[in-house]
Amino acid sequence: MGMLEGKVVAVTGAGRGVGREIALLCAKEGAAVVVNDLGGSAEGEGADVGPAQETVNDIKAAGGRAIANGASVADPVGAATIIEDAVKTFGRIDAVVNNAGILRDRIWHKLSHEDWNAVIDVHLHGCFNVSKAATPYFKDQGSGSFIHFTSTSGLIGNFGQANYSAAKLGIVGLSQSIALDMARAGVRSNCIAPFAWSRMTATIPSTTPEELARVERFKTMSADKIAPLVAFLASDAAAEVSNQVFGVRKNEIFLFSKPRPIRSMQKSEGWTVESIANEFLPAVRGSFADPAERSGDVFGYDPI
């Protein structure tokens, strides 16, 4: 028996890439899977149920159970059908994997409202919509696992991704609130920042030698490496794990820290503008994060 025997898992964006590998492994581990994918382009245009159905066909060919759902997670009504299909077809829902995403990378001064809204809608609103739909079932049964996909673009930073970075860091805040609010109901919520070569990471700029090297590193990191941690977090073996942020980079698994105070100063008489400039700034300057640091600088070494 697999680690997910008897479980029902919904995976968004499961027609291709990381989501597809997650769906395949969850099915292999015994779960019935709702394979959701709008089937649009990497920028969120168009729709095609074909990729989702192909993943379903592969699961069934291997002896697993799965159904396809072509709804957009950005649409609250469509997102709800993902959970409704799970309950209607398989009788319950045990885990939600919020993986669906698009990219509309633009340097900040060229980012349009349309590009901002489109990315926020799919990533942040999509996570909210699908999670909200599953919550009543999780609460009633006293169990459930949310697994949301964040990114080091939000946790650390990256060029030309203000919309994506904001959405991905927002997902961390959403996950944290769900974990706190739903703990009494036995519901868990965690985040994963994945490193994997896919059609989305294929859009990473590669004009400088450093960027080219980063892309080559990404090409060595296959999407299937992300799936085991997802399946674990969906399983009963992760019953004690909630409100955490993980990362997966080829054969490495990371546990990320959360923002916490690292330096402090106190003045009994209170602070002035001048004392902040003359006393506080010199004292904490050495602990400042590099203002130009991005994800590739922190993870600048070859994946293991």
Q: Which residue has the tokens 């994918």?
A: 37
Residues 6+ positions from 302 with CB-CB distance below 8 Å:
217, 220
Catalytic residue among 90, 128, 146, 164: 164
Task: Look up the CATH architecture of domain 8-258.
Answer: 3-Layer(aba) Sandwich (3.40)
Q: Which residue has the tokens 């060029």?
A: 159
**In a structure prediction context, what are the per-residue pLDDT tens digits for the chain, which is 304 residues long?**
899 999 999 999 999 999 999 999 999 999 999 999 999 888 888 889 999 999 999 999 999 999 999 999 999 999 999 999 999 999 999 999 999 999 999 999 999 999 999 999 999 999 999 999 999 999 999 999 999 999 999 999 999 999 999 999 999 999 999 999 999 999 999 999 999 876 666 666 567 777 777 677 777 888 999 999 999 999 999 999 999 999 999 999 999 999 999 999 999 999 999 999 999 999 999 999 999 999 988 988 889 8
pLDDT for res 190 = 98
| Residue 164: active-site member | yes
